[in-house]
Amino acid sequence: MFFQYKHCEQQYVFYICNNKVSLIFEYMDGIKQRINSLREELNQHNYNYYVLSKPTISDYEFDTKMKELTDLENSNPEYYDPNSPSQRVGSDLTKTFRQVEHTYPMLSLGNTYSESEVREFYDRVKKGLNDDFEIVCELKFDGTSISLTYEQGELVLASTRGDGVRGDDVTANVRTIRSIPLKLRGNDYPDRFEIRGEILMPWTVFEDLNRERAEQEETLFANPRNAASGTLKLQDPKIVASRKLDSYLYYMLGENLPADGHYENLMKAREWGFKISDAMRKCKTLEEIFDYIKYWDTERKNLPIATDGIVLKVNSLAQQRNLGYTSKFPRWAIAYKFQAEKALTRLLSVSYQVGRTGAVTPVANLKPVKLSGTTVKRASLYNEDYINQLDLHINDMVSVEKGGEIIPKITAVDASQRGVFDEKVTFAKICPECGTPLVKAEGEAIYYCPNETECPPQIKGRIEHFITRRAMNITCGPETVDHLYNAKMIKDVADLYTLRWQDVANLERWAEKSAKNLVDSIQSSVNVPYPRVLFALGIRYVGETVAKKLAVAFPDIDRLMAASLDDLMQVDEIGERIACSVKAYLSQQKNLDVIARLRTFGLQFELSEEVISQRTDKLQGLTIVISGTFEKHSRDEYKALIEQNGGKNSGSISSKTNYLLAGDNMGPAKLEKVKKLNIPIISEEDFLKMID
């Protein structure tokens, strides 16, 4: 908090933090000086922590200084700076990414998988240069490529690789990555230059993120690369900031670079504040290169981030220019890819997990083994058919493969090491949580526990699904659900709306403020619209898209309850399986009772008059594919407009496509396909005229 005091012609500004006067300075000019001082100090601490991994102050001290800076900036908006360390958290504004053309094309590298191919590359370089040369060996980080442009020492643009010629402007998201400097250190950098590298998600962050998604029964990210790429393209920088992305930079371009050597330029970039890998090495012989490859093929397992190979580059920039490019790749660089990691370990036991829908998933419990930078203790066994295919026995020696994937899998069994009395793995016949006999629908591979009302993981799972951000957006997590369930305060989703903050505050580890926040969030959720409420109910096979289609076809829950199987199957993309699931859910009295209770608490079980009035049949029966970038609306907004006017949005072009809604920078593959199928291409203006 700030207050000002004026004595005669002298003006003082006081800053109060934690009931103490922590700062006094004179004149309003001092505010700008203090802001600049705090920014410089916080940038240094960010560099110490995220690049050097050597923090010099406590988190509390850092947060206190950040709070002071934020308060000063909020009180003095004329000193706003997009590169201030306070902007690292990101704003919550959504946006559409604009496409920017790369000053220098972002080409991919040729891949090699054997030492003989590395030798061939080395010999080609030697022959092409006919001179002495050095090869820089670097780790090939398994993330998503990024290009950063700096002017006068400040970050002005961050763009993705895209198609190599142009990419998406993701500057707002990249500003949240703390290992990327917003302002450079020193003053000996070029006026303008570009530096490229990789945006990464560390293993620990990745596993925490997938653990959270698994608890919400959301689709897991396959690997850190997909997670990093997906995060970088999110529309909300605040979410990007929460994902704790990291970076390594590995190539500098521009005029007036510090040196002719690629390695030397990156060493200078490190002085400016960039995160440069310590694993870089200059090699003069093939033997040194092979020693480097051999070392990191093993040592990479201990790294906190994912790697999938080694990159070899000619060090001299002049020699790089002399070697030039093929039509696809630079002749002066190549990537050596590691083989997918495998390990042999012992199967100790098989356990079974029950999800919110009652689906039972077998999990292999393994003797711990190091794989792709993490210790693997478990592997998915998918279903009964997969277990039988492997002919698994307890105590088998099994081959586990990760290859950068999050969920390790057992790829083979060494039956030669099997003991005579080792027990064959057979799928569980009863629910491990409630003891109910499991069932399996004809034609399906998944077993289910049918005890929906008494099986604890199903009950808690349905509540956890109900509260998620994309459903009812109630601000609590699985731990809170577990706590309230164990305290016998909730046994279904409707019970959430009966909670009193006074009762919650009496529970262990709860305080009045957190209890009030929970209850306030629950009460606010009554404003969530009908389609999301349908999704929140957790009907099997009814995801967000299906819930929207059902809400449009049956504008209130009463009409949905009265709908026949045939009525449901008339809705676009609703087949027999989904229709039967909806009918089964709405025919069970316990579910009807929960819905009735939710209605009494004020939840939305019908489309609003405003939404209904905006719906038309102008695009009825039409399937439209969207491609490119647009000026007037975002792609998501156009998808919503298509659905709002009775049309169907599809992600792929087929003979059933009626129109392609084309914006700027449309994908060449889609363009070629629509021409081949003679599908009409309409512009943004054409589409808006169609829906008036």
pLDDT digits (tens, 9 = 90+) for 148-206: 999 999 999 999 988 788 888 999 899 999 999 999 999 999 999 999 999 999 988 88
For residue 316, the tally of other CB atoms under 10 A from its CB is 23
d(CA 633, CA 639): 10
**Is the pLDDT at 219 greater than 90, yes or no?**
no
The pLDDT of residue 612 is 73
The CB-side HSE value for 616 (13 A sphere, CA atoms) comes to 10
The pLDDT of residue 97 is 75
Q: What is the mean pLDDT of residues 29-49?
A: 81
Strand partners, 144: 199
Tell which residue, 62, 61, 70, 76, has the closest CA to residue 31: 76
The pLDDT of residue 615 is 79
d(CA 398, CA 401): 10
d(CA 541, CA 550): 12
Between vectors from CA 131 to CA 125 and to CA 134, what angle results, nearest 5°?
65
d(CA 518, CA 477): 10
**What are the structure tokens assigned to 296, written together?**
């990191």
Strand partners, 649: 624
d(CA 112, CA 115): 8
The confidence band for 52, taking pLDDT boundaries of 50, 70 and 90, is low
Counting residues of the chain whose pLDDT is more than 70, the rounded percentage is: 90
**Is the pLDDT at 438 greater than 90, yes or no?**
yes
The pLDDT of residue 217 is 56
pLDDT digits (tens, 9 = 90+) for 450-474: 998 899 999 999 999 999 988 999 9
Q: Cβ distance 70 to 87 under 8 Å?
A: no
Scanning the structure block, which residue is given the tokens 């003053």?
187
Tell which residue, 45, 13, 43, 15, has the closest CA to residue 30: 13
**Residues contacting residue 593 through CB under 8 Å, at least 6 positions apart:** none
**Residues contacting residue 142 through CB under 8 Å, at least 6 positions apart:** 198, 200, 223, 224, 225, 305, 306, 307, 308, 404
d(CA 540, CA 430): 21
Q: How far apart are the first and last CA of the chain?
A: 52
**Is the pLDDT at 54 greater than 70, yes or no?**
no
d(CA 359, CA 511): 36
**Is the pLDDT at 336 greater than 90, yes or no?**
yes
The pLDDT of residue 65 is 81
The CB-side HSE value for 307 (13 A sphere, CA atoms) comes to 23
Domains, the chain: 2-88 (1.10.287.610), 111-122+129-285+304-324 (3.30.470.30), 342-425 (2.40.50.140), 456-527 (1.10.150.20), 530-612 (1.10.150.20), 616-690 (3.40.50.10190)
**Is the pLDDT at 432 greater than 80, yes or no?**
yes
The pLDDT of residue 285 is 95
The pLDDT of residue 9 is 43
At position 499, the amino acid (one-letter code) is L
If phi over 0 gives left and psi between -120 and 50 gives alpha, with beta otherwise, what is residue 323? alpha
H helices then E strands: how many in the chain? 25, 25
Q: Cβ distance 249 to 275 under 8 Å?
A: yes
Which of 42-56, 290-304, 362-376, 390-404: highest mean pLDDT? 290-304
Backbone angles phi, psi at 661, to 5 degrees: -85, 110
Q: Cβ distance 522 to 497 under 8 Å?
A: yes
**Is the pLDDT at 109 greater than 60, yes or no?**
yes
Strand partners, 660: 625, 681
Helix (H, G, I), strand (E, B) or coil at 63: helix
d(CA 623, CA 639): 11
Q: Give the burial string for 652-669 (b: 16+ CB within 10 Å, else e).
A: ebeeebbbbbbbebbeee
* Beta strand pairing call for 144-151 and 192-200: antiparallel
**Is the pLDDT at 6 greater than 50, yes or no?**
no
Q: Does 5 or 680 have the greater pLDDT score?
A: 680
* Beta strand pairing call for 135-141 and 439-440: unpaired
pLDDT digits (tens, 9 = 90+) for 463-504: 999 999 889 999 888 889 999 999 999 999 999 999 999 999
Q: What is the mean pLDDT of residues 432-444?
A: 89
The pLDDT of residue 316 is 95
**Residues contacting residue 319 through CB under 8 Å, at least 6 positions apart:** 129, 131, 133, 332
d(CA 256, CA 150): 13
Q: What is the mean pLDDT of residues 41-56?
A: 72
pLDDT digits (tens, 9 = 90+) for 546-596: 898 899 889 999 999 999 999 999 887 788 989 999 999 999 999 999 999
Instruction: For residue 140, indicate whether it is catalytic.
Output: yes
The residue from 32, 67, 140, 275 that is catalytic is 140
pLDDT digits (tens, 9 = 90+) for 383-394: 898 899 999 999
**Is the pLDDT at 91 greater than 60, yes or no?**
no
**Strand-by-strand arrangement of the 307-314 sheet:** 111-112, 333-337, 307-314, 135-141, 281-283
Helices (H), 347-455: 384-390
Residues of the chain by 3-state class (helix, strand, coil), percent to 5: 40, 25, 40
Q: Does 602 or 638 have the greater pLDDT score?
A: 602
The confidence band for 69, taking pLDDT boundaries of 50, 70 and 90, is confident
Average pLDDT, the chain: 86
The pLDDT of residue 348 is 96
Q: Does 551 or 89 have the greater pLDDT score?
A: 551
What is the rounded (10 degree) CA torsion for 449, 450, 453, 459? Answer: 40
Q: Give the burial string for 61-86 (b: 16+ CB within 10 Å, else e).
A: ebeebbebbbbbbeeeeeeeeebbbb
